[in-house]
Structure 1
Amino acid sequence: MAGRRFEHANNPRFRCASSAILLPFGRRSFLPAVVERAGGEEEPLDETTDRIVYQLRPHRVTLVYSGMGAPAAANALEMAAANGARRVAVFGACGGVDPAVAVGHLLVVSSAVRGEGTSRYYAPPECPAAFDPSLTARLAERAEKSGVPAHVGVVYTTDAGYRQGSEIYEDGTGIVLGVDSECAAAAVVGARLGLSMGALLFCTDNVRLPRASDQQYGGLRDSRVRRAFEAGLDAVLEALGG
């Protein structure tokens, strides 16, 4: 289904590189920081679309800003696939739910628990939300060489950031490392569209850590988060460019 064309006011045609980054959060913070670091040129789109697209020409990568949440991520992937994307890496923030994943650490997502609702429209509940092992391995290799502590594992994707229940933290397996709002949908939707999908997140807060400053989101104002953001972005660009 990758590469299919369709007309929709909210899915304009544009030239998308075969490799793309999906940025789901941080229009006023992460988006300008990515553009500044990676050298982006904004793609002119119809005023009816909510997505924002930049061409990161030095890297031959297209950046698609979707907005937060699983539905927005799914729509952005539909748009990217319809315009030429073949390989997409989700790059964004996550909360840690395992004490080992500290603020400023990187998390390469191997799969996600489908706690959101969007993915149900693309695959039955029993289908796993797993990312492409090849791209995941490339992201993990780059992340481990970044100089920032990196983990590989599972996230819990939820639609309710303020209503996270104990099932996230005490899932009975001990494998959930973080929580986010897009990964499960991105993995399932991307697979349905025939895309090679991966995800690399940077931890901005962790409610399981004792210090109050670690439990509160600080964004790029936190030097640990900024360092992880920059290292993670470089790792994603390297993984997509190889």
Structure 2
Amino acid sequence: MRLLLVEDDDHVAAALSAVLARHGFDVTHARSGAEALQSLLPGGDAAPFGVVLLDLGLPDQDGFEVCGKIRKLTTTPVIMVTARSDVRSRIHGLNLGADDYVVKPYDTGELLARIHAVFRRTVPGDPADGDNPAGEAEPLRLGPVHIELPTRRVLVEGMHVPLTRKEFDLLALLAQRPGVVFRREQIISEVWRTSWEGTGRTLEVHIASLRSKLRMPALIETVRGVGYRLVAPAG
């Protein structure tokens, strides 16, 4: 797998690149946000990157800003790797579209596991999908809401509603079992693949964002003290 490492400290980058190479990764090192964005531009014969490891303390622009720009260029998974451990930074990073957030210092084994985890969740034709081509999957139809799982598109009354990766994952999880109450812990485990307690606040932010973007505040019901469920609209 090709991996883009965005890190301005050459010593840190060299050490991590060596570890990643030993585990079969083809690492490209970018020392700035501008270099990273240039590397992600389409074109050329090289295989696309499977994952981006993004440091936040870059010399030319803030890593949060870079993440937002990456999301406009590509759906490549982004893992923020940073010393910023406060909850607000974590939530901000995830809301910008990061797929995971790892705080320095970290265990190398855990970082490798997280890289593989986000790649498995985003690679087309995942073995978990079975033998059926992705394009044959039927969309989920919930009244005026249509959810196309293979293309990750959501339509409300025929109009496309752009969602972030996590917003889509959250909606798809609830929509596959309408009426069933999902516990908060279960949602966090399924969508964020973590038991990190700070993710609870991020879940609330994503629920609020979905209600707003879909313009259907009653679609996702809060079950006080338990979690959430999707209430299928009529029609």
* Higher strand proportion: 1
Normalising by the smaller structure, the TM-score range is 0.3 to 0.5
Q: Which structure's CA Rg is the greater one?
A: 2
- TM-score normalized by the length of structure 2: 0.36
- TM-score normalized by the length of structure 1: 0.35
Structure ranking higher on relative contact order (CA contacts 8 Å, 6+ apart):
1
